[in-house]
Structure formats: C-alpha cells, structure tokens
Structure 1
Amino acid sequence: MKLKIGVMGSAAKVNDITLKERAREVGREIARHNCILVNGATTGMPNEAAIGCREEDGFVMGISPAMDLDEHIKKWKLPYKEYDLIVYTGQGFMFRDILNIRTSDAVVFLRGSVGTLNEFTIGFEEGKVMGILENMGGISGFIDEIIQIAKKETNATVIYEKDPKKLIRKLVQEVQKQNRRTHKKSIKMVG
C-alpha cells in the first residue's frame, strides 16, 4: 500500500522563488518515493508541493473545507487543477485539519501560521511521524520551542531537515520502520 504524506503550511501567496522551489521539491520527492501527497486542497505552500508532485506524475489528494467543487472554487477560491482527488468535507477548516492529519502516514510542515500550528498539535497529540523543512520561516521555525514549552510526551516523531530530498527519505524510512515494528507485534504464532 502506498504511504500518504501530508504537506501542511502557509496558504498565503508565495512570492519568494526559493521557498516555492523548496516546496515543489518536497512534492517531487513524495512522487519519487511513490507516495501519495495529501494536503488541504489549498493555496500557498501546500499547492506548490502539489505542483511539484504532479511534475513527477505523482498522485495528489486534497481535503477541502467546501461542500463541493463549486463552493471550493467560488466561496473559498481554492485550486483544483493540481489534484487527482479532492474530498469535500463541507465542514470548514478545523474539521479539514483533523482529516488531513489522520489521513496522512507522515506530515511535512512548510512555514505556516495558526492553521498550520493546529495541524501540528493534532499530529503531535496523535503520535504522527512529522518533518519540519528548516529555514522556511513561519510557525514551522518555532516547532522545537513549542515542543519544549508544552513539556508533553507523546509517541510523535519530529524530524528536522534542511534538504527536501533528505527530509522525505527520512520520513518514509521512519514510517516503514514503525510499520514493521507494529506488524511484528500484531503477528501471532499459530502452532
């Protein structure tokens, strides 16, 4: 079964070409690892990653806050052409955030603000494998401090990496390692 890697981050318009390219490289690497890219079917960093994924013929799944495509485009003014599949929740952003994280086997964070912080805290509480692409700015630059301030132990794994290629490779390896461990625990000997 293909792994699903979520890409969460700033939905604000991206003007910095270097940041755009780094986000697209995240998407390309997700496709190169034969994983599905999952995001909030939104603009900004997540959409740049979706574009990169599609450049490598990867599969992109978006989870929309809208009820249907019409609302997705007209009310929310969100992109759709980069997506192979969009799930319309009709439940707004908060519910979408939960579905984004729960749908993903691992999650990458690129910049972001309050919504991205919400997605991170959901993933942290639920013990997800998460990657922070360093030097992107936004809330993702403060994740380590947030973890220290929270002083809460969870089963989450947080990987920090400057290189998009290395980050995706490390995330995939960690999910596979955890899946092997879980699989071994669930096997019962019959004899």
Structure 2
Amino acid sequence: MRIQVAVCGPAQATPTELAHARRVGELLAERGATVLCGAGGGVMAAVAAGARSHDGLVIGVRPDDGTEPGPAEVSASVVTNMGQARNAILVWSADAVIAVGGSWGTLSEVALGMRRGGLPVVVLGGWRVRDATGAEVPGPHHVDTPEQAVQAALAG
C-alpha cells in the first residue's frame, strides 16, 4: 500500500511557502507517496501541482458540498461538506502530516496530528507552540527545507 501524506498550509500563502509546498509535492511524488490536501488554493494548490508535475496521485479532501468545480490540480476529490471539520478527515486518512507555513486551519491540523499519537508531524516554516513560561512545547518535528520535511515524514 502507498503511504499517504497530508500536506497542510494556508490558502493565503507567501511566495516561499508556495515554493516549499510545490517542492514537497514533487519529492513525495518521486517517492511514490499519495498526497492528501485540503483541495484549496495556496499551499494546497502548490503541493498538488508539484505532485502532479511528477505524475503523483493527489487526493483533495474538500470542505464544501462539491457544487463548484474542484481544483484542477487534484487527481480525485472527497467531498465532505464539513467546512474546517474536514481537517480531522484529512489527518486521520494520513500516515504522516507535513505543515508548510501556518494559519489557524494549519494549526488545527498539526494539533490533530499530534493528538493521534505516533503519527509523524513535520512543520516547515510554520507554527511553534510555547507554554506559559515561553518554552517550546515538544511534539512536531521542525525542519528548514522541503527535502528535510519529506525525509522526516517518510522516515516516521
């Protein structure tokens, strides 16, 4: 069975986040992983485009009711009509999670991944959670490059 990696990130992404997401998609496709994403714009569209450019399989887990056409970059869509609650479906369908950048929705996906226990959760340029004393809360594996992100996700 192919490993499924959820790649999460903001729809309103920076140029660096978009470049990182595209590269993550390329690398995952090269390694034969199925890419799961939220089927939106920004990081989601960039990772899908990267994977598809290398003949990768991309499954978009959509938050809407499917009445509007889905993103062209995905191979197939799962329509949930659950809004942001679709994040739980995305994370629970994955063997690993890579978060590129950060938004509130991305933070929820990182948290859901950590709550699963034993799931590799990798953060590339995104959220760092700190406790009341300012110490970083242990959990997600923080990396600096798309190559490190994919390596950490697939090694998990």
- TM-score norm. by structure 1 comes to 0.73
**Higher Cα radius of gyration:** 1
Q: Aligned residues, how many? A: 154
SS in 2 for 1:61: strand
Match of 1:60 in 2: 58
Q: C-alpha displacement at 1:5, in angstroms? A: 0.4
Choose between structure 1 and 2 for higher RCO, CA contacts under 8 A separated by at least 6 residues: 2
Distance in 1 separating the partners of 2:136 and 2:149: 25
Match of 1:47 in 2: 45
SS in 2 for 1:58: coil
CA RMSD of aligned residues (A): 2.2
Residue identity opposite 2:105 in structure 1: G
Q: C-alpha displacement at 1:152, in angstroms? A: 8.2
Distance in 2 separating the partners of 1:53 and 1:7: 11
Match of 1:165 in 2: 147
8 Å Cα contact 2:25/2:47 also seen in 1: yes
8 Å Cα contact 1:159/1:171 also seen in 2: no
Partner deviation per Cα, 1:150-178 (whole Å, 9 max, x = no partner): 9988xxx632211211220221111xxxx
8 Å Cα contact 2:43/2:100 also seen in 1: yes
8 Å Cα contact 1:26/1:165 also seen in 2: yes
SS in 2 for 1:168: helix
SS in 2 for 1:166: helix
The partner residue of 2:89 within 58, 76, 99 is: 99
Q: C-alpha displacement at 1:112, in angstroms? A: 2.1
Match of 1:88 in 2: 79
Identical aligned pairs, as a percentage? 27
Mapping 1:1-191, distance limit 5 Å: 1-12=1-12, 14=13, 16=15, 18-68=16-66, 70-71=67-68, 73=69, 79-94=70-85, 96-127=86-117, 128-133=119-124, 136=125, 140-143=126-129, 145=130, 158-174=140-156
Q: C-alpha displacement at 1:31, in angstroms? A: 0.4
User: Gapped runs of 5+ residues in structure 1?
Assistant: 74-78, 175-191
- TM-score norm. by structure 2 comes to 0.88
